[in-house]
């Protein structure tokens, strides 16, 4: 592998997922063996739900990451979490989960927390989506104050097409919430796979969101649903997207969100081939 590929590998990372390993240390070791430089720790059971992770364990996580030369990113909890919920009790409980993720990030020396922005259940008429968006703005404003105190960036992610209506599904919606919050601690994660489910122009999205971009999620699909396939198994033109991100001088991490080690290894091979051409 040439030096250019070596440098790119240090920008690649892998997100934890259910069933990936019995312990975080085992997961970190496998990431290090693959030669990546980042790991995105998802705040969910069984590995890293913050309420389950003691102060001592957080210290051990920090030390283990250092020993494997891995830079951590934290992905806030998303199962049963919806900070845009029309139910204020759900919204408050969801905000608490994300607040715990921000604190956890600071404790393990992660400077970015990825956040799902919430949705409106599909049974509701679309006119209620504005209320969900207002709830997102209110909750996010509060979370940013906590993040600022801990010097952690909250990175808002675009979501996929599904039955529920998403508060952030387009580049314009993504830009709107970032500009509304207007804080250097509120930035953007561009999920390429999610954007592809809306059949949008991925290169235009990348160019538009670039000034606010701190993280990129990579996984493949065929444009109709969120499948989290290995790169090359769907219809996304990753070569074109990478070229655009390079043109806008994006220099941050690329996190692979693929749900098997075989798929991850295939995706890494695909990425190294693309950047070596």
Is a pLDDT exceeding 50 seen at residue 269?
yes
The SS3 assignment for 270 reads: helix
State the DSSP code for 192.
H
Residue 20: pLDDT band (50, 70, 90) is confident
Is a pLDDT exceeding 80 seen at residue 25?
yes
Contact assessment for residue 87 and residue 129, using Cβ atoms and an 8 Å cutoff = no
Residue 110: partners with Cβ closer than 8 Å, 6 or more residues away: 41, 72, 73, 74, 104, 152
Residue 205: partners with Cβ closer than 8 Å, 6 or more residues away: 158, 171, 190, 195
Is a pLDDT exceeding 70 seen at residue 246?
yes
Residue 132: partners with Cβ closer than 8 Å, 6 or more residues away: 84, 85, 86, 118, 119, 120, 165, 167
Q: How many angstroms separate the CA atoms of 147 and 52, rounded? A: 21
Contact assessment for residue 4 and residue 276, using Cβ atoms and an 8 Å cutoff = yes
Residue 254: pLDDT band (50, 70, 90) is very high
Q: How many angstroms separate the CA atoms of 85 and 52, rounded? A: 25
Number of neighbouring beta carbons within 10 Å of residue 146: 17
Instruction: Give the dihedral of Cα atoms 79, 83, 89, 92; nearest 10 deg.
Output: 100
- Of 159, 167, 81, whose CA–CA distance to 126 is shortest? 167
* pTM of this structure: 0.96
Tens-place pLDDT, residues 144-181: 999 999 999 999 999 999 999 999 999 999 999 999 99
Residue 1: pLDDT band (50, 70, 90) is very low
């Amino acid at each position: 592998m040439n030096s250019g590929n070596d440098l790119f590998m240090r920008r690649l990372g892998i997100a934890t997922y259910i069933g990936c390993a019995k312990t975080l240390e085992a997961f970190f070791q496998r990431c290090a063996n693959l030669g990546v430089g980042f790991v995105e720790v998802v705040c969910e059971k069984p590995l890293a739900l913050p309420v389950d992770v003691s102060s001592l364990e957080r210290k051990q996580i920090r030390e283990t990451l250092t020993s494997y030369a891995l830079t951590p990113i934290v992905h806030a909890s998303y199962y049963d979490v919806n900070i845009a919920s029309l139910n204020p009790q759900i919204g408050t409980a969801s905000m608490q989960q994300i607040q715990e993720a921000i604190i956890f990030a600071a404790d393990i020396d992660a400077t970015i927390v990825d956040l799902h922005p919430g949705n409106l259940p599909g049974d509701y008429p679309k006119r209620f989506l504005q209320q969900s968006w207002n709830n997102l703005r209110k909750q996010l404003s509060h979370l940013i104050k906590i993040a600022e105190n801990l010097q952690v960036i909250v990175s808002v992610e675009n979501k996929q097409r599904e039955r529920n209506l998403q508060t952030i599904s387009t580049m314009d919606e993504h830009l709107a919430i970032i500009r509304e919050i207007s804080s250097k601690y509120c930035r953007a994660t561009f999920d390429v796979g999610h954007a592809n489910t809306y059949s949008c122009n991925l290169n235009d999205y990348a160019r538009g969101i670039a000034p606010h971009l701190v993280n990129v999620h990579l996984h493949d699909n065929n444009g109709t649903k969120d499948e989290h396939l290995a790169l090359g198994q769907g219809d996304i033109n990753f070569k074109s997207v990478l070229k655009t991100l390079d043109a806008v001088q994006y220099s941050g991490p690329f996190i692979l969100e693929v749900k098997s080690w075989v798929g991850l290894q295939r995706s890494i091979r695909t990425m190294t081939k693309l950047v070596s051409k």
